[in-house]
Amino acid sequence: MGMTITEKILAAHAGKKGVSPGDLIMAKVDIALGNDITAPLSIEEFKKIGAKKVFNKDRVVLVPDHFTPNKDIKSAQQSRMLRDFAKEYRITNYFELGRMGIEHALLPEEGLVLPGDVIIGADSHTCTYGALGAFSTGVGSTDLAAAMITGEIWFKVPETMKFIFYGKLKKWVTGKDLILYTIGKIGVDGALYKAMEFTGEIIDNLPIDGRFTMANMAIEAGAKNGIINPDDITLEYVEDRAKRKFKTYKSDKDASYSEVFEFNSGDIEPQVAFPHLPSNTKPISKAGNVKIDQVVIGSCTNGRISDLREAASVLKGKKVHKDVRLIVIPATQGIYKMAIDEGLVDIFISAEAVVSTPTCGPCLGGHMGVLSEGERAVSTTNRNFVGRMGHPKSEVYLSNPAVAAASAVLGRICSPEEMK
């Protein structure tokens, strides 16, 4: 019996010829990642243990991105912990304000995460890097501390679910819609501690940004990781960025899957996830007349350059509705600069949107767009739990960037087609 890509990567990093679902293994990690919310706890544990050095100063990555630029004294203290730790242990990849970005967009852009890697991060959306054909998953802060010291972590090898997408995409349908549709079908615990492997002709032709979005939201179905077999699109993205050598893996044709789902993408419209779960999805044609107060375009899910281009194509020559606040957040400094060079920022500002420096900010109700009681927001982020972006009695609706932009103009949830 063959192995899936997830099983092959884990076997290689555990020094084994093969592994099976349910096996407990110790695996070497290629990258250990922390941010300004989670890493301070890891640093405290690191020092409590009495560790003298990290396992590899080039493989520990620290990115203050959640509450930066610092919103208050506490967040400033947390960021300082990362800064001081990076200096003390000579961490190569510490990204301070002005050189940073939202971690899950920044690491691929910098060539730090690569196909075939095992990557752990004290952030649930670390699964983003599966888009490159890597095994990447979120862990707790104490697990991160242990990995920073030893360079290893234990896993239970997950079962793999296979999702095959075929057909032809409708206009305005993106990776965000494919993953929202999938989560809507299987539920927020439908892939609990399993690998979600995305494949089929639609995935074969999906741009890398769309793949990042799909892998990013695997955790919203409870998955251990999301993953896509690397191909020419993957290699085109990583080869000029890669900071080190890498090895690609692919699932065997006779690999075993716990479940296989096939979706005709021609049946999928742009999706909207209604409050208060990413699985509470509706096609845009069934969204109804939902008036909104705020729109956020950005995050580790949809803050990449293709997302901003998509939003700008809808907003060009338009104005944001007088009752709506539109906040646009490029995911990295590099993306921000590209958006300036391409005239996208000019389009956003002319539409009367706010354009922010890279930050997770509003996604987790941190800053840069917190909602008050009773307010509704359309957001290109990944979660819409109760109180996720502010007041417990606010509401968050998840969509792709084009739907978000159109909704900002009309003041209600709508398709770009309705703007004609």
The more confident residue out of 418 and 263 is 263
Instruction: Judge whether 359 lies within some domain.
Output: yes
pLDDT in tens, 12-68: 999 999 999 999 999 999 999 999 999 999 999 999 999 999 999 999 999 999 998
* Rounded mean pLDDT, 212-220: 97
Same-domain pairing of 209 and 303: no
- The answer as to whether 185 is a domain residue is yes
Domain shared by 299 and 407, yes or no = yes
Q: Find the domain containing 304 and state its range.
A: 272-419
For 316-331, write each residue's pLDDT tens digit: 999 999 999 999 999 9
Which residue's structure tokens are 């692919």?
A: 250
Whether 45 is in a domain gets the answer yes
Domain count, the chain: 2
Mean pLDDT for the stretch of residues 177-194: 97
Q: pLDDT band at 364, cuts 50/70/90?
A: confident
Looking at the fold, whether 286 and 217 belong to one and the same domain comes out as no
Single out the residue of 11, 45, 48 nearest to residue 143, CA to CA.
Answer: 45
110 and 181 belong to one structural domain: yes
How far, in Å, CA of 416 to CA of 311, rounded?
A: 10
Q: What does pTM read for this prediction?
A: 0.94
Q: Please provide residue 78's backbone torsions phi and psi, each rounded to the nearest 5 degrees.
A: -65, -45
Query: Residue 83 has what pLDDT?
Result: 95
Residue 137 lies in a domain: yes
What's the token pair of residue 356? 């922010």
Output the pLDDT for position 1.
Answer: 79
Q: Are residues 258 and 281 in the same domain?
A: no
The verdict on residue 376 lying in a domain is yes
Residues 167 and 203 in one domain: yes
Question: Torsion angle of alpha carbons 266, 405, 218, 230, nearest 10°?
Answer: 70
Which segments within 149-229 are labelled E, that is strand? 152-156, 159-166, 194-199, 225-227
Helix (H, G, I), strand (E, B) or coil at 190: coil
With cut-offs at 50, 70 and 90, classify the pLDDT of residue 342: very high
CB-based burial of residue 176 (10 Å sphere; 0-12 exposed, 13-18 middle, 19+ buried)?
buried
367 confidence band (pLDDT: 50, 70, 90): confident
Domain end, chosen from 229, 262, 295, is at 262
Banded model confidence at residue 419, pLDDT cuts 50, 70, 90? confident
Q: Are 197 and 289 in a shared domain?
A: no
Whether 305 and 350 share a structural domain = yes
Q: Strand 152-156 vs strand 24-28: parallel, antiparallel, or unpaired?
A: antiparallel
Q: Are residues 282 and 256 in the same domain?
A: no
Give a yes or no: residue 267 inside a domain: no
414 domain-assigned:
yes
Pairing of strands 271-273, 325-328: unpaired
For residue range 136-150, what is the model confidence (pLDDT) as tens digits?
Answer: 999 999 999 999 999
Q: What pLDDT shows up at residue 244? A: 93
Please count the other Cβ atoms lying within 10 Å of the Cβ belonging to residue 318: 17
Average pLDDT across the chain, whole number: 96
Cα–Cα distance measured from residue 118 to residue 100, given in angstroms and rounded to the nearest whole number: 22
* CATH at residue 378: 3.30.499.10
CA Rg value for the chain: 20
pLDDT tens by residue, 233-256: 999 999 999 989 999 999 999 999
Residue 101 pLDDT grade (very low, low, confident, very high; cuts 50, 70, 90): very high
Q: Do both 196 and 343 map to the same domain?
A: no
Same domain for 198 and 237, yes or no, is yes
Residue 363: pLDDT band (50, 70, 90) is: confident
* Higher pLDDT pick, 367 / 102: 102
* Residues 284, 186 share a domain: no
3-state secondary structure of 72: coil
In a domain, residue 297? The reply is yes
